[in-house]
């Protein structure tokens, strides 16, 4: 009896201590709003950020708690004392424009959970946006979504990205700006 209790305690400690096995989040790809990205074994500080806000707050992940089979990288912005601000999932493989059906599949997958896009713009390929008034009512901390494709080599290939902005984004921006002001 004692051995069974000890085994259950050890197993429980192992499971709750491993972020890859924790209960599923309602957030995209299973990232928890208050879990620091470095707690995930597949995330690291982004050493080559293109955006200045990422210098202090950007993280690059080679996987996710609930990875999507077509996305190989996940870029997170996380601000201490606020939490997860945004996620950008990016495919490392390229789609040829004639395979637009695959590109549209991402829109359909997002719409299945979050509803139809609220707007669509043309930027070489269609860009879809989900920015409903009042958020998504219980579907994690997501405030808005953008699905877009970047066309390379004079329109011959396209990489797909999906950006999720969280309800914490305004508080994140405020903290980032406060940090910049303190620097002077």
Q: Residue 82 CB: number of other CB atoms within 10 A?
A: 21
- CA 80, 110, 118, 101 torsion: positive or negative? positive
Report which of residues 17 and 8 the model is more confident about.
Answer: 17
Angular region, 91: left φ>0, alpha ψ -120 to 50, beta rest = beta
Is the per-residue pLDDT at 64 higher than 90? Answer: yes
Mean pLDDT of 109-125: 84
Angle at 14 between CA 12 and CA 20, to 5 degrees: 110
Q: What is the pLDDT of residues 121-165, one digit of tens each?
A: 876 667 889 998 877 877 778 999 988 776 555 555 667 789 999
Highest mean pLDDT among 25-29, 86-90, 98-102, 145-149: 86-90
Rounded Cα distance between 90 and 105, Å, is 15
Q: Quote the tokens at residue 122.
A: 């043309």
Q: Residue 110: is its pLDDT beyond 70?
A: yes
* Averaged pLDDT of the chain: 78
- The whole-angstrom separation of Cα 135 and Cα 151 is 30
Long-range contacts, 36-40 (Cβ 8 Å, 24+): 36/78, 36/80, 37/61, 37/76, 37/78, 37/84, 40/65
């Amino acid at each position: 009896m004692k051995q069974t209790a000890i085994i259950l305690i050890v197993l429980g400690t192992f499971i709750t201590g491993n972020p890859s096995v924790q209960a599923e989040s309602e957030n995209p790809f299973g990232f928890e709003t208050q879990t620091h990205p470095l707690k995930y074994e597949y995330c690291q500080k982004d050493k080559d950020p293109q955006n200045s806000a990422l210098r202090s707050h950007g993280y690059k992940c080679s996987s996710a708690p609930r990875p999507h089979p077509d996305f190989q990288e996940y870029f997170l912005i996380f601000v201490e004392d606020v939490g997860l601000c945004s996620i950008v999932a990016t495919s490392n493989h390229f789609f040829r424009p004639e395979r637009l059906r695959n590109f549209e599949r991402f829109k359909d997958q997002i719409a299945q959970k979050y509803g139809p896009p609220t707007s669509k713009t043309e930027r070489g390929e269609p860009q879809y946006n989900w920015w409903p008034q009042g958020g998504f009512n219980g579907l994690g901390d997501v405030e808005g979504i953008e699905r877009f494709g970047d066309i390379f080599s004079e329109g011959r290939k396209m990489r797909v990205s999906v950006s999720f902005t969280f309800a914490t984004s305004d508080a994140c921006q405020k903290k980032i700006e406060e940090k910049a002001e303190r620097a002077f």
